[in-house]
């Protein structure tokens, strides 16, 4: 995805600025997607550094912070039974 995006935008694939722009674009859709996209770029940078003996271009790439998951309260059995009773009584009436 990143390489195709860079080709469309005519950006350098190993530039930190390009990576920052791509992650920001992903972040506008979902912080979760942006975080995983940034993690993939960091892994690619480590590959470049270790296997191809190049400097890691994404070493300073900052991972987006995912928001804390919502701790929604789970309905009790009694609440579910009352809800079911209300739903079935409106269907029968």
pLDDT band at 52 (very low <50, low <70, confident <90, very high): confident
Which pLDDT band, with edges at 50, 70 and 90, does 91 fall under? low
Size of the chain in residues? 93
Instruction: Please check whether residue 88 is in contact with residue 47, taking contact to mean a CB–CB distance below 8 angstroms.
Output: no
What CA–CA distance (Å, rounded) separates 10 from 67? Answer: 32
Tell me the domain boundaries of the chain: 2-66
At 39 the pLDDT is 93
Neighbours of 8 (CB within 10 A): 8
The mean pLDDT of 60-67, rounded to a whole number, is 86
Q: Could you report the per-residue pLDDT of 22-31, keeping only the tens digit for each? A: 999 998 888 8
**pLDDT of amino acid 70:** 77
21's enclosing H/E stretch is helix 16-29
């Amino acid at each position: 995805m990143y390489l195709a995006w860079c080709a469309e935008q005519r950006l350098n694939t190993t530039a930190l600025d390009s990576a920052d722009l791509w992650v920001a674009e992903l972040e506008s859709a979902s912080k979760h997607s942006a975080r995983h996209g940034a993690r993939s770029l960091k892994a690619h940078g480590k590959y470049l550094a270790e296997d191809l003996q190049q400097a890691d271009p994404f070493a300073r790439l900052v991972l987006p912070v995912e928001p804390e998951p919502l701790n929604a309260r789970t309905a009790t059995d009694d609440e579910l039974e009352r809800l079911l009773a209300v739903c079935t009584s409106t269907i029968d009436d």
